[in-house]
Amino acid sequence: MSINSAEKTFQNPTLVRARHALPLRNIFTNLFPFILFLLLTCANTQAEDGSRLWLRFDPIENSPLLQSYRQTVTGLTVEGTSETEKIIQTELASALKNLLGQNLSNSPEGGKLIVGTPESSALIARLKLDKELKRLGPEGYVIRTLKEKNKTTVIASQSPIGALYGTFYFLRLLQTHQPIEDLNIVEKPKVKLRVLDHWDNLDGTIERGYAGKTLWNWKELPGKVDQRLKDYARANASIGINGSVLNNVNSNPIFLTEEYLHKIAAIASVFRPYGIKVYLAANFAAPKKIGGMTTSDPLDPQVAEWWKTKVDEIYKIIPDFGGFLVKANSENQSGPQDYGRTHADGANLLAKALQPHGGIVMWRSFVYNADVDPDRINRAYKEFKPLDGKFLKNVLIQSKNGALDFQPREPFSPLFGALRKTPLMAELQVTQEYLGHSNHLVYLGTMWEEFFKSDTYSKGPYSTVARVVEGKVFKYQITGVAGVANTGTDRNWTGHLFGQANWYAFGRFAWNPESSAKEVSEEWTRMTWGNDPQLVNPIVGMMMGSRETYVNYVTPLGLSGVFEKDLHYAPDPGMVDPRREDWSAAYYVRADEKGLGFNRTLTGSRNVNQYHPPLNHRFNGFSTCPEKFLLWFHHVAWGQKMKSGKPFWEELCSRYDQGVSEAGECQKNWDLLKGKVDGERFGAVADKLKIQVEDAKKWRDKCLLYFQTFSHQPLPAGKP
Ligand code: BDP
């Protein structure tokens, strides 16, 4: 169901109940016209269930601003007949009608707002922007006020998709109440592949999904395509996402069968006009599992032939298929090492098959086989660094932001800056596996900003992760950022209304890894909650502090891995998993009579040496290691004096306490907004904050009680 149609069909439950409560037929007959009137009126009331995301386009009520917008946008010309151009036309006409209350139909003679490409619009062609647009590429655009042409505003790009991106940018200016009468905006994405990874399973469940089921209805496809897919594509286009991996990295080879390829093709045709390509997570053992072969050995010529034939078939059915994402030799997924081959052999096998079609391979570096190194986080670097330069040109290595696994805080993975000849693609986790699922308000923009701003020193100073990923440090030919999606069938898409901010921020950071978390949160807040500073300031404040608050009550001072088995929601710092040592919380926490934390210095697992100087020295020294990473790199004695002057045990207790009190503050700040936002969304967030505050206390109490069994020191007053 499309966003608009969903709202129109919404029935007010109170009214429905009221109608049933009228017992007498004649009363009903008398009241019928009145009831009908009420029902009709309410049918147009919008359900504030969060389904409109940041694309709300509520009427602008600030009248001087409204006047100036109305004067600037008096007509609309979107030329071109492609599906994308039709979308631009409908999107603009409907958004401007809602925002400005005026109907601007497409006037081919030219109007005050002109959108298109030099190919589709004679007017834009006459502006001679070709050189500039070429430099910006097919996804870049300019938005410019032409002084000499009666202040006409032009949104121009080389391609319709770029024009669509420009359109959403322009609308964002209106949604966030920015001036539009003198624009000169030149935009181009800093990263080529901006992809959402869906860990969606065949049975409709989503691995680490906390917002309902998968949006892809395999049973109905390809015959019926859910309207919501269009809404999903539209939301992604509005933030510049240009790819979706449809299935879980723990992949089912069924997705590669002809039957499923046709279903996937139906999804691809909905996504196409929004600039989104589909990708699949490929199961490396597919030749054996669905191809009837006896081996999946990457060096076997028949296996190579099988992949070539399969890939040719895929492109016949989905001509603009993006390529494969692969999890190999990790957590029971098969891979080239099953046959004594390397990750490069495996990746190149698929890359060769995809290369003639322009497809790519995103090969994950999330591997941690125990025989490589006793410290789990040393393993991926040790496996992949020696393979640098051995991958074909259409392969990217996709690495999680940290070396462990999407913890609330990790230093950047040392693979960023280690691979010089192989493009490294960043994998972020938008879904909050280790960050309170869809119950806790944690804005991830600040985490991603910290990550991207980290200096790898891989080519001297200012070799930030952002610049590595953008291909500026080592001149990568392809660049990419992936995000593990947090979307599902919940009406509000992401379970928690503030989870939408993370989807939004992912798009903005993928487009420009050098984005500012604060600016992004402000944009999102204005579009989602309103422009009143009395809303914007407190909400941005809540968001900006939220990740640090979460870190304080979950993994203060560089702790990691303290989570319960499998679910990764609640604390269980002493958990020992009989299946694997490195799935045990106790393995990471390393609590003992002396202290707490994992010694990764030169006297420990020597992980510090995977970083370029001066980081190796900085992390190695107790006094030079940033406190936020202390327990990640050091085993710290309970009595150790900290920067605050407090002994470590006291510092640890106070960090947990701080987290709990900050969560409470956040709840209080939200309560102050009662009446300033609609009741439905206010209540939904308030309910979640209640859970969060309770959980924060549980985290503090469970962790401190466990650590106390080693520290043998008193808990601060007031604790259990
Ligand atoms: C871990 C998740 C697991 C994923 C795995 C991965 O717990 O569900 O399959 O990462 O990224 O974070 O492959």
- pLDDT tens per residue, range 382-432: 999 999 999 999 999 999 999 999 999 999 999 999 999 999 999 999 999
- Three-class SS of residue 104? coil
Give Cα 359 distance to the centre of its chain. Answer: 23
Q: Could you tell me if the CB of 406 is within 6 A of ligand 1?
A: yes
Task: Inform me whether the pLDDT recorded for 17 exceeds 60.
Answer: no
How much distance in Å is there from the Cα of 583 to the middle of ligand 1?
Answer: 12
Q: Topology of domain 63-187, per CATH?
A: Chitobiase; domain 2 (3.30.379)
User: Which residue numbers are catalytic?
Assistant: 331, 405, 433
What ligand 1 atom has the least distance to the C-alpha of 199?
9
Q: Could you tell me if the CB of 564 is within 6 A of ligand 1?
A: no
Q: Which residues pair with 360 in a beta bridge?
A: 323
Q: Could you tell me if the CB of 207 is within 6 A of ligand 1?
A: yes
- The percentage of residues in the chain with a pLDDT greater than 90, rounded to a whole number, is 90
DSSP state of 337: G
Query: Residue with the nearest Cα to atom 12 of ligand 1?
Result: 405
CATH architecture of 193-528: Alpha-Beta Barrel (3.20)
What ligand 1 atom has the least distance to the C-alpha of 427?
11
DSSP state of 200: B
How much distance in Å is there from the Cα of 39 to the middle of ligand 1?
Answer: 48
How much distance in Å is there from the Cα of 1 to the middle of ligand 1?
Answer: 31
CATH of domain 552-598+635-711: 3.90.1330.10
Listed in order, strand segments (DSSP E) in 60-123 are 76-78, 113-116
Please give the C-alpha separations between residue 717 and each of 304, 646, 654, 657, 700, in angstroms, as whole numbers.
67, 16, 11, 11, 14
How much distance in Å is there from the Cα of 702 to the middle of ligand 1?
Answer: 25
When mean pLDDT is compared across 30-39, 183-192, 240-249, the lowest value belongs to 30-39
Q: What is the 3-state secondary structure (H, E, C) of 7-58?
A: HHHCCCHHHHHHHHHCCCHHHHHHHHHHHHHHHHHHHCCCCCCCCCCCCCCC
Q: In the block, which residue shows the tokens 């989104």?
A: 276
Give domain limits for the chain.
3-48, 63-187, 193-528, 552-598+635-711
Confidence of residue 40 (pLDDT cuts 50, 70, 90): very low
d(CA 626, CA 633): 10
Res 718: pLDDT = 56
How much distance in Å is there from the Cα of 437 to the middle of ligand 1?
Answer: 14
Residue pLDDT, tens place only, 656-691: 999 999 999 999 999 999 999 999 999 999 999 999
Confidence of residue 109 (pLDDT cuts 50, 70, 90): low
Residue pLDDT, tens place only, 56-83: 999 999 899 999 999 999 999 998 999 9
Q: Could you tell me if the CB of 197 is within 6 A of ligand 1?
A: no
CB atoms within 10 A of CB 312: 12
Helix axes 517-528, 445-453, angle to 10 degrees: 160
Q: Could you tell me if the CB of 427 is within 6 A of ligand 1?
A: no
d(CA 111, CA 104): 9
Would you put residue 162 in left (φ > 0), alpha (ψ -120 to 50) or beta? alpha
- Which of 331, 369, 398, 579 has most ligand 1 atoms within 8 Å of CB, for mutation? 331
Give Cα 410 distance to the centre of its chain. Answer: 17
How much distance in Å is there from the Cα of 56 to the middle of ligand 1?
Answer: 34
- Which of 248, 433, 568, 582 has most ligand 1 atoms within 8 Å of CB, for mutation? 433
Would you put residue 645 in left (φ > 0), alpha (ψ -120 to 50) or beta? left
Rg (CA), the chain: 27
Q: Could you tell me if the CB of 208 is within 6 A of ligand 1?
A: yes
How much distance in Å is there from the Cα of 160 to the middle of ligand 1?
Answer: 37
Residue pLDDT, tens place only, 625-635: 999 999 999 99
- Which of 199, 248, 437, 583 has most ligand 1 atoms within 8 Å of CB, for mutation? 199
Task: Inform me whether the pLDDT recorded for 111 exceeds 70.
Answer: no
Res 551: pLDDT = 98
Res 103: pLDDT = 86
Would you put residue 505 in left (φ > 0), alpha (ψ -120 to 50) or beta? alpha
Query: Residue with the nearest Cα to atom 13 of ligand 1?
Result: 249
Task: Inform me whether the pLDDT recorded for 23 exceeds 60.
Answer: no
d(CA 243, CA 233): 10
Work out whether strand 595-596 and strand 636-637 pair parallel, antiparallel, or are unpaired.
antiparallel
What ligand 1 atom has the least distance to the C-alpha of 484?
11
